[in-house]
Structure 1
Amino acid sequence: MPEAASAPAARATVGAGEFDRDTALTRREPGVYAIDLSADWTIFGVVNGGFLLAVLGRALADALPHPDPFTLSAHYLTASRPGPALVRTETVRTGRTLSTGQASLFQYDDEGNEVERIRVLASYGDLDTLPDDVHTSAEPPAMPPIEECFGPEDGPAPVAGGSAFADRLLLKLDPATLGWALGKPSGKGEMRAWFGLADGRDTDPLALLLAVDALPPTAFELGLAGWVPTVELTAHVRCRPAPGPVRVSVTTRNLAGGFLEEDAEVWDSAGRLVAQSRQLARVKRG
């Protein structure tokens, strides 16, 4: 079993960390929630897509009769900025083991027009009721211990405006996927890292929605630079993670026509596959 990270001096608990504070919503009426999107989760002024998925995931957890996200498919329509936003949810169907709902996040543009930023269709259940049988050929990614991996703090001075999101995370990248940072990308389209939250809060099902979109784009290891905005992201939560950092592996096999896919797997400290995702992203040069 790979070594785990050393714990911060004071660990935040689930429900009382930065992530919980900044994904908190105020219910205005049934199915309608207000939130002030924090600049702490931005990359060059744009709110991270995984964080947004967690915000809508939290709204749906409140609106639906089941507590845990099982699958969420999100379409990112326009870039979300820090500031006030409104989330509207709708229950599509409720059943004994699964309930399905949809949610959209809205903001106002400079002319005062309401703009839909992201739309999600999701199914929720109860992870604690799932059977514990496992039949799989999937294997955890082979990675060095966390102490032998590197984070943003190990590199040169951060680019202005680019470190807010990274400062919220414990993110340690596998050196084998860091060629892009040294000007020598591998060309393999792979990214691997240990993931946690900087305040020591353990990763729960909602934080897994953040984890699948937290690593640098695989396009960097393909030798490409520039913004890689998500067009669509589907995440599957398979089970509740064990305490400790998780391992995230992201791969791209096909970049064509200015678009690429990213397949992510998240493995917990017990060696279980706890989440998977696939996203379609657009590669923008420069």
Structure 2
Amino acid sequence: MTQHQIRTVQCLSPAGLHNMAYQEWGDPDNPRVLVCVHGVTRVSGDFDNMARALCDVYRVVCPDVVGRGRSSRLLDPRHYHLAQYVSDMVTLLARLDAGTVHWFGTSMGGLIGMGLAAMKDSPVSKLVLNDVGPALNPAAIARIADYIGKDLRFASFEEAHRYIRDISLPFGPHSDEEWRKLAADVLKQDTDGQWILHYDPGLAVPIKALTPEQVRQSEAMSWMAYDAIACPTLLVRGAESDLLTPEVAKAMTERGPKARLVEIPGVGHAPTFQRADQIAVARDFLLA
């Protein structure tokens, strides 16, 4: 079984220092680096199967974005936003001494990748956006925001596992073993023996503070960033996604980097890339 290392890098927010944990797979001296970044309530473990499949070619690096998993929580939850996440990734790339990278981002991880790829002299030379774009369906954002801020506690792993499975049904069909892995990655026991979610409930603070005007401004800025991306881009959409609409996906194929679009049937938000057929979609694009 392929082994990996768990490391940390110290990053800076306006409120002080924090640590970001990351998993590193493959040869640490390999100049070909693939960075895989998870969605808003997920963790680096989402990419275990993909990392195993690609670490023969890449040095695969999978961070826990601050506030999630093994990473620190921010001292001020108002800083849980894209600008902070992009800044942390720049620090990570400096630690890796990576001149150029390929980027795979699911949902929030894709938005971070967009922000980084849009910059002048960006290190991102290939970009995969997994079910995300510059414009997001407000109803889907509200659905996700509804459960992010809840400080939930469960008496048993099985109870917590059922909850994770229920809110994650848009991921599409998975085996019982796959569902258990998806749940186990984002659950931990507290000192009282109860099962809790791995992330800081404070993640919801900046989301809930957004005004309609700020949402409109953010979307306009996101389209400007997308239009500035020059590297080859693959857009993966769950065919039943409620976050990335077909209209937005089509527009993304016609402007900016003119992304190549692949739809995954029978899946909503977002394809998990746990299985070989989905991993092959990413591998074929990245290694083409």
TM-score with structure 1 setting the length: 0.27
Where is the helix percentage greater, Structure 1 or Structure 2? 2
Where is the strand percentage greater, Structure 1 or Structure 2? 1
TM-score with structure 2 setting the length: 0.26
